[in-house]
Structure 1
Amino acid sequence: MRSILVVVTRQIGDVLLTTPLIRAARQRWPGAAIDVLGFQGTLGMLKGNPDVRQCITTPPRLGLAGGWGLARALWNRYDLALVADIGDRAHLIGWVAARGRAGILPARNGSNWWKKGLLQHVVIAAGDLGETHVVQEKLALLSPWMDVRGLHPEVVPPPPAALPAALQARLAPGHVVVHAPSMWPYKQWPPEHFGALIAGLAAAGRQVVLTGGPSEADRRLVASLLAAAPAGQAIDAGLLDFSQLVSLLAGSALYIGPDTSVSHLAAACGIPVLAIFGPTNPQRWAPWPSGGEAPARPIRFVRRSAQQRAGSVTVLQDERDCVPCGKAGCEDHRLSRSDCLPSIRPERVTSQALQMLEDSRA
């Protein structure tokens, strides 16, 4: 293979979790040119990635003219397309772009019949309640060309970049990074719970650094949480790019956050991570631990456990029988509530965080 296109038309976290596939392809074909195609605004996690030659962005909505232009630009340019998404458009792009194709399909879908006809190798997605982590599922795209069972998947973060001088000057040794915002309400741990967590960490003498995106909702939530701790013990990291965020995370003693892309990035940085999960299945979506050398035992998360740990990552869940439901909250839509998240009390999270800080120091 001299040229490979990886198609990942998903969100930012999905792009980051595709880097083990990209790294494995680079190991299999060291001289190949590897490009990645994804939606505009989602490929920032690949900035500076040594395994990627070029990032190709496309709008989420192409239209007829845009689709035709993209098809002409990509036509038969690659030897192999690795389609790391189940969507129809992703598979059409793979068919247009490459002579050989491997792709992921859902277990049941009305369009599977024609997608299978376009692929030389098919990986069936385990689904939201499946037992296969998405990192391992994506790696299976390479199974015709290499034995992926013995690989130690490595999520590759962007290279670090210098923090703003004003932020660097305010950071205290042993600070804890807390990411409170979630893109969707059904993944949002209550803001008042975050406030109690921050107060507990500050009472234990820890500085808390709050991160969030540029949206008005993120900025408003971060600003509201600053009052949970005495002046200087809770600070707003401001707007950082992913490389600066890597520097902030790498210098911290602990990261705490929900099911979000920043939690995956923190795990890739190798620091202790405490992830708060609601309806999402950690067997599929838990932050993938970083580790350098292969662990003595394969990384495994279970579907439900009040507390579980793999490597540097600890996941907390509610103990009710419906967890995880694998749905978009109790009402199964993006603006839904998730009753399992408020039930994870801040005292429990604070206690676990302080224990992890003590274990890390020891």
Structure 2
Amino acid sequence: MSTGRVDSVLVIVTRQIGDVLLTTPLIHAARQRWPAATIDVLGFEGTLGMLRGNPDIHELIATPPRLGLKGGLRLIRRLWHRYDLALVAEASDRAHLIGAVASRCRAGLLPPRGGSNGWKRRLLAHAVTTSGDLGDVHVVQEKLQLLAPWQSGPAEAKLVAPPSEPLPPALSQRLAPGYVVVHTPSMWPYKQWPREHFRELVGRLAEAGRQVVLTGGPAAEDRATVDAMRGAAPEDRLLDAGVLNFGQLAGLLRGAALYIGPDTSVTHLAAACGVPVLAIFGPTNPQRWAPWPALPREQVVHWHRRSPAQALGQVTLMQAELPCVPCGKAGCEDHRMSRTDCLPAIRPERVADEALRILRAHSKTKPS
């Protein structure tokens, strides 16, 4: 394996928005290792917004999920052996083939098992086998292992959120000090906490004197889930933030007293922004996918597989008290549109009580 001069690095992360954000510790560690190197990131179109303004990155390369023959040939011409090192931060076939095109020296993730592992391993100078959805190694820690041959010690595991951008005046003028951001939508039904649970939570927070600010994306289902909160609290204590870009969303989160949300990319962003986070998890294994907390470098991040409520740093994570939790599947029927019995079992009064406890504890730690 070549451990010599590295002047250019390509990080390949062809997955969804949350996965992209969870790759920023790897990108940051690469920047710390090679301060003068050019570090580019390749991912799918529509997923790289979390990385705009990231000081560790030189260029973002967006590709369509389906390249086609012409698109594939264009990408090959653009990337052919352009980099000294490719870090394949996803285990997919496509990510490994792109890595093979981009550089003669590659480190990459492999799935726990699969017929493609043989040829992928032969393409790599350094391979890291992932532990799977029910493993006990967080994805952030796995991605950092890609740098092991080039590191003399453990790398700093630091999520890098996008820089804050100004909020729309119509929103910023209505924000009250101590507001709580609540993200109600999930991309898939099997990760969706029930709307009626969110409504009760919003009402309880408003009764406690908190302004609740709702966030969601532009998709019709997101808008419908946010709209379903109307009337859950008095108008002066319930505010729809509308559709924000990631920089504006980061600014909104950094000003919040607390963020509450499900297993989604915005929850990971809130953790990266350093705000107190209350995450509502269903079938997903927190040892693999919990929001990454802001902790001192020397403190080990290790989540329990199952706990009614557990906290690390500024992140608190809640799960149902059911023996099947977490199953690591896409809901009870194991498909993206599946029902999930464990999420409705997390009662809204329990989440509200935990949220108010966090708010009280956080107010005590603030300087007067």
TM-score range, shorter chain: over 0.9
Question: Is contact 1:255-1:274 (8 Å) kept?
Answer: yes
CA distance in 1, matches of 2:205, 2:156: 34
2:153 and 2:222 mapped to 1: Cα distance? Answer: 39
**Does the 8 Å contact 1:226/1:236 carry over to 2?**
no
Q: Distance in 2 between matches of 1:227 and 1:37?
A: 43
Q: Which SS does the other structure have where 1:332 is aligned?
A: coil
Is the partner of 1:318 in helix, strand or coil? coil
Residue 251 (structure 1) aligned with residue 261 (structure 2):
no
Deviation for aligned residue 1:227 = 1.2
Aligned counterpart, 1:200: 204
> Alignment identity in percent?
65
Per the alignment, in what secondary structure is the counterpart of residue 143 of structure 1? helix
Partner of 1:210: 214
User: What's the secondary structure of 1:30's corresponding residue?
Assistant: coil
Report the residue type matching 1:317 in the other structure: Q
CA distance in 1, matches of 2:35, 2:222: 41
* Letter in structure 2 aligned against 1:92: L
Q: What's the offset of the Cα at 1:16?
A: 0.4
| Corresponding residue of 2:3 | none
* Superposed displacement of residue 226, structure 1: 2.4
Residue 152 (1) aligns with residue 156 (2): yes
Q: Residue type matched to 1:284 in 2?
A: R
The 3 A distance-change label for structure 1 pair 283 and 148 is farther
Please list, as runs of the form range in 1=range in 2, the aligned pairs for 1:211-360 lying within 5 A after superposition.
Answer: 211-291=215-295, 293-294=296-297, 297-360=299-362
Q: Alpha-carbon deviation of 1:334?
A: 0.1
How far does the alpha carbon of each residue in 1:211-264 deviate from its partner, in whole angstroms, 9 at most, with x for none? 000001111111120210011211100111001011100000000000000000
1:323–1:147: structure 2 CA closer, same or farther, 3 Å change rule? farther
| Distance (Å, rounded) in 2 between the aligned partners of 1:227 and 1:247 | 26
Moved segments of 4+, more than 6 Å = none
Q: Secondary structure of the equivalent of 1:144?
A: helix
> Contact (CA 8 Å) 1:254, 1:357: kept in 2 or not?
yes
> How far apart are the structure 2 equivalents of 1:165 and 1:96?
46
Please state whether the residue corresponding to 1:225 is helix, strand or coil.
coil
Gaps of 5+ in 1: none
Q: 1:83 & 1:312 partners in 2: Cα distance?
A: 30
SS state at 2:236 partner: coil
Using structure 2 for the length normalisation, give the TM-score.
0.96
What is the aligned-residue RMSD (CA, Å)? 0.8
In the alignment, the residues of structure 2 paired with residue 35 and residue 185 of structure 1 have an alpha-carbon distance, to the nearest angstrom, of 34
| Alpha-carbon distance in 1 for matches of 2:186, 2:250 | 19
One-letter code of the match for 1:305?
A: S
Of 160, 178, 185, the match for 2:182: 178
**What amino acid does structure 2 have at the position aligned with 1:327?**
K
When residues 339 and 181 of structure 1 are mapped into structure 2, their CA distance, relative to the original with a 3 A threshold, is same
Could you list the per-position Cα deviations for residues 87-139 of structure 1 after superposition, in whole angstroms to 9, with x for gaps in the alignment? 00000000000120000001111111110110000000010000000000000
Which residue identity is paired with 1:247? G
In structure 2, stretches of 5+ residues that fail to align are 1-5
- The answer on whether the counterparts of 1:176 and 1:208 sit within 8 Å (CA) in structure 2 is yes
Q: 2:72 aligns with which of 59, 63, 67?
A: 67
Q: Distance in 1 between matches of 2:7 and 2:217?
A: 38
Aligned residue pair count: 359
CA distance in 1, matches of 2:297, 2:123: 35
SS at match of 2:104: strand
Q: Is the 8 A contact 2:185 2:216 kept in 1?
A: yes
Amino acid across the alignment from 1:307? A
Indicate if the aligned counterparts of 1:289 and 1:310 stay in contact, CA closer than 8 A.
Answer: yes
Q: Kindly provide the amino acid, as one letter, of the partner of residue 337 in structure 1.
A: R
TM-score by length of 1: 0.98
Tell me the alpha carbon deviations over residues 135-183 of structure 1, each in whole angstroms, 9 at most, x when there is no partner: 000000000000453x331000001011111100000000000000000
C-alpha deviation, 1:324, in angstroms: 0.2
Task: Indicate the residue corresponding to 1:167 in structure 2.
Answer: 171
Amino acid across the alignment from 1:264 = H
Asked if the contact 1:140–1:148 (Cα under 8 Å) also holds between the matched residues in 2, the reply is no
**How much does 1:294 deviate?**
2.3
Q: Which residue of 2 aligns with 1:140?
A: 145
In the TM superposition, residue 65 of structure 1 has moved relative to its aligned partner by 1.5
